[in-house]
Amino acid sequence: MTTPPLLLATGIDKAYGPTPALSGADFAVRAGEVVAVMGPSGSGKSTLLHCLAGIVRPDAGTITYDGRELTTLPDTARSSLRRTDFGFVFQFGQLVPELSCVENVALPLRLKGERRKNAEAKAAEWLTRLEVEDIAAKRPGEISGGQGQRVAVARALVGSPRVVFADEPTGALDSLNGERVMELLTDAARDTGASVVLVTHEPRVAAYSDREVVVRDGSVRDAEWAA
């Protein structure tokens, strides 16, 4: 790579009981880069993402984020990073049903101790940016799937994360809504300088990335990093 990676994984192994999910996986992403992690269902894509994000601790290998070794950090430190430096977009949004859309977006800021008024003002700005300001007061059960994913993208970006992890973010959407969500996600991430690790099995979604990495049977070789 021409510049050092912001997030680097080397030789990652992870098994669930006797079943290997990852075997010697290598991966890297630079600051501001969008990388698509592709592969069929069950190939280990989501496990790789969970390891990179510090949600799951690998059985072997190293993961370094901005010079810090994630695999040796205590759980509290990794949880703190997920609040301050990482953002997440999941396939089904995973919005809190009891909260309004603006409250959902503001939630990461509230968890970091920001005052409600300030947090919701920033959340409202992101809802406008994601073209869903008209649903700010509605709850997740009152909006469409496409609107919900835009809210989820706003929630992922409101805290100015350095890395956004997106796990099949368009998997529950039709093609038109999926295309718009990807446009908004990648444009917003590039505008803010965030890196994006995008897990998908759809070529049309991966096309929004700067480059693609393929996972097969738990093994991935990041050719650009290796070079």
> How far apart, in whole angstroms, are the C-alpha atoms of residue 186 and residue 179?
11
- pLDDT at position 221: 62
> How far apart, in whole angstroms, are the C-alpha atoms of residue 61 and residue 74?
16
Tens of each residue's pLDDT in the chain, 227 residues = 468 899 999 999 999 999 999 999 999 999 999 999 998 888 899 999 999 999 999 999 999 999 999 999 999 999 999 989 999 998 776 899 999 999 999 999 999 999 999 999 999 999 999 999 999 999 999 999 999 999 999 999 999 999 999 999 888 888 888 999 899 999 999 999 999 999 998 899 999 999 999 998 888 866 565 44
- pLDDT at position 227: 40
Dihedral (C-alpha) 92, 78, 42, 30: value to the nearest 10 degrees?
A: 90
Q: Tell me whether strands 86-89 and 163-167 are parallel, antiparallel or unpaired.
A: parallel
Q: Tell me whether strands 19-29 and 60-65 are parallel, antiparallel or unpaired.
A: unpaired
- On whether the CB atoms of residues 9 and 27 are closer than 8 A, the answer is yes
> How far apart, in whole angstroms, are the C-alpha atoms of residue 111 and residue 177?
30
